[in-house]
Amino acid sequence: MKISDITPFIGAEFTGFTYEDFEQQEVLDQLIDHLQQRELVVVRGIDLTPRQQIDLAKRIGNPVPFLITKYRHAEFSEIMISSNEVKNNKPIGVARVGNFWHQDSSFVANPAAYTMLHGVNVPQSSGHTLFASAVDVYERLPEEWKEKIAGRTAWHTVAKRLRIRDEHVGLSVAELQALIDIDHPRVEHPVVPRDRFTERPYLYGAPEYMHSVVGFDANENEAYFATIDELIQDPKNVYTHRWTPNDLVVWKTATTFHVATAVEPGVSRTVHRVSIEAVDQ
């Protein structure tokens, strides 16, 4: 068994571990400690049943049922199936999800603290997941911007990325926007919170899930979004996770930016996702 840092700025990798190893409290404590300190943990090639994934998630926090029932696992409502596979002429999961830089569910008032993915059927040539540390992004932010955003809050919204559903057909753009505002009202979060475990400041909010920084005019918001987009996507500060079979990936939702890349045509991919609330959330 081996534990090593993945990059200087994010991630710890556990190799040679089994589910039974994590039933030992001292081993689980190592995973949780690295998760808190390194934002992201990759457990390579750990064979898990859906029940074992849920049981492991319960040892980290409180797994929550996925909101959209048709994408839930048939036996475990806490598992969302992300998949481009089709069985009996029906998709077994949602085929395209998270294909833009974001922090999970920042558009809700109290996002779950952790996200856990298990690679059930993963290609190694495409469908990678890219990660960046929100702590690192804030550290690299120019001082002039740090001064501008100090003490500010921002409005977060799902409006830019809400999926159009059958019931939206026939609505005008104005009607759809009004419905979004009702069903998914904007929420306000600090722009620079501090991590409750490490006390390190980090940048909260990616442009695709943000409306505006409170107090900024349109030009300032545009300039700010362009600046942080460039920092988040800087290749020198991005970890590309190339999936191998049965990888388990867990991250802190607040301090981890990430994006899913495309799967090449004709290649199948299925991942099981669990959102985990902190025990005191």
Query: Residue 171: which pLDDT band, with cuts at 50, 70 and 90?
Result: low
Q: What pLDDT, on a 0 to 100 scale, did the predictor assign at position 47?
A: 97
Query: Residue 88: which pLDDT band, with cuts at 50, 70 and 90?
Result: confident
Averaged pLDDT of the chain: 93
The pLDDT of 81-102, averaged and rounded, is 91
Residues 67 and 155 placed together within one structural domain of the fold: no
Cβ–Cβ under 8 Å, residues 228 and 257:
no
Q: Is the pLDDT of residue 174 over 90?
A: no
The answer to the question of residue 128 being in a domain is no
- CA distances to 79, 127, 253 from 62, rounded to whole Å, are 13, 28, 14
The answer to the question of residue 87 being in a domain is yes
Please give the helix or strand (H or E) that residue 229 lies within, else none. Answer: helix 218-232
Residue 68 sits in a domain whose CATH number is 3.60.130.10
Those residues whose C-beta lies under 8 Å from the C-beta of residue 195, and which sit 6 or more positions away, are: 135, 201, 202, 252, 254, 255
Q: What pLDDT, on a 0 to 100 scale, did the predictor assign at position 10?
A: 98
Residues 228 and 245 placed together within one structural domain of the fold: no
CA angle 224, 105, 29 (to 5 degrees): 110
The answer to the question of residue 20 being in a domain is yes
- DSSP-derived secondary structure letter, 225: H
Query: Residue 232: which pLDDT band, with cuts at 50, 70 and 90?
Result: very high
Q: What pLDDT, on a 0 to 100 scale, did the predictor assign at position 208?
A: 95
Residues 69 and 181 placed together within one structural domain of the fold: no
The pLDDT of 241-262, averaged and rounded, is 98
Number of domains within the chain: 2
Residue numbers of the domain that contains 87: 2-122+241-277
Residues 143 and 113 placed together within one structural domain of the fold: no
